[in-house]
């Protein structure tokens, strides 16, 4: 389902973070959201998920306005992998994943055998089947991220928001996470918006990119077209270039590593 953001202005208290944001994210595509710390990436995620109410503008999913929807309806449309992954309760990893299906379960009911089989299968696909019986809060940060990805996939929503999902992952798992997302997006026609710190991950895995600077959109569109020297330097305020390796792969590198 396409996600459309029109004239969005939002912030916290008297502090405005996003200024007149307008972007559209197409179905069956991965859109990378990049920008420096404090540029408004997480705030935009919160607005799309209906957690933060904007002061101006509108957000719609397949023509349905988020502001007019109840929390349960939003949960059926949008899943979220947040930055913070601590649970105040001692849930097992399987229980955490099963929470992704909460919107499909009647109040005061427990997940049925079908839900449990589905959750276990997703854990196998993500590569965390060996963690299902362990307490969630006893995992490493990277393991928690993978469990949260499994929970979002179990939610089976047409829109997925991933807020810095690679923050605690080692190098192989960063690429495993992104490759999994690319596969699920293409197989299920999911719309995925992913905040990334490393533009190389965006270059390799995303179809589109939204580049933010100080709460405004610098550029939005196909990654292959827009992720270039000019836009990267504009967003990050440093000399950065896109080089081609001997194998023909493009890579983003700083011109002066000491900046």
CA distance 25 to 2: 6
d(CA 22, CA 8): 6
Taking the C-alpha atoms of residue 109 and residue 95, their distance in angstroms, rounded to an integer, is: 14
The DSSP letter of residue 148 is: H
Are 90 and 33 in contact, with CB atoms under 8 Å apart? no
Other residues' Cβ atoms within 10 Å of the Cβ of residue 214: 14
CA dist., res. 138 & res. 179, Å (int): 26
Tell me, yes or no, if the pTM score tops 0.75: yes
- The C-alpha atoms of residue 88 and residue 46 are separated, in whole angstroms, by 21
Give the Cα separation of 5 and 191 in Å (integer). Answer: 14
- List per-residue pLDDT tens for the chain, 259 residues long: 789 999 999 999 999 999 999 999 989 999 999 999 999 999 999 999 999 999 999 999 988 899 999 988 898 899 988 877 767 778 999 999 998 888 777 776 778 888 889 999 999 988 899 999 999 999 988 899 899 999 999 998 999 999 988 888 889 889 988 998 998 898 888 999 999 989 999 999 999 999 999 999 999 999 999 988 889 999 988 778 788 776 777 788 777 655 4
Which pLDDT score, from 0 to 100, does residue 102 have? 80
191-195 vs 159-163, strand pairing mode: parallel
In the chain, the domains with their CATH numbers are 3-86+156-254 (3.40.50.300)
Predicted pLDDT at 194? 96
Identify the pLDDT of residue 258.
Answer: 54
Residues facing 163 on adjacent strands: 195
pLDDT, residue 257, reads 59
Structure tokens at 77: 């449309």
Helix (H) or strand (E) holding 172: helix 171-188
CA quadruple 204, 199, 207, 97: dihedral, nearest 10: 90
Residue 86 has a pLDDT of 67
Q: Output the pLDDT for position 249.
A: 77
């Amino acid at each position: 389902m396409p996600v459309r953001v029109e004239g969005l202005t939002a912030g916290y208290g008297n502090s405005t973070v996003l200024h007149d944001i307008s972007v559209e994210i197409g179905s069956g595509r991965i859109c990378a959201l990049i920008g420096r710390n404090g540029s408004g990436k997480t705030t935009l995620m919160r607005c799309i998920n209906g957690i933060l109410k904007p002061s101006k503008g509108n957000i719609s999913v397949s023509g349905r306005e988020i502001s007019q929807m109840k929390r349960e309806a939003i949960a059926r449309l949008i899943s979220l992998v947040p930055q913070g992954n601590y649970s105040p309760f001692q849930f097992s990893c399987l229980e955490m994943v099963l929470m992704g299906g909460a919107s499909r379960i009647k109040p005061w009911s427990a997940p049925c055998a079908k839900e449990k089989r589905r959750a276990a299968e997703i854990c196998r696909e993500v590569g965390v089947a060996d963690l299902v019986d362990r307490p969630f809060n006893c995992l490493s940060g990277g393991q928690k991220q993978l469990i949260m990805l499994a929970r979002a996939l179990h939610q089976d929503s047409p829109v997925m928001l991933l807020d810095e999902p690679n923050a605690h992952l080692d190098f192989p798992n960063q690429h495993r996470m992104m490759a999994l997302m690319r596969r699920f997006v293409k197989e299920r026609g999911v719309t995925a918006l992913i905040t990334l710190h490393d533009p190389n991950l965006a270059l390799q895995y995303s179809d589109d990119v939204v580049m933010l600077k100080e709460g405004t959109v610098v550029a939005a569109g196909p990654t292959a077209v827009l992720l270039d020297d000019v836009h990267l330097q504009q967003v990050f305020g440093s000399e950065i270039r896109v080089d081609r390796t001997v194998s023909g792969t493009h890579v983003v590198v700083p011109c002066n590593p000491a900046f």
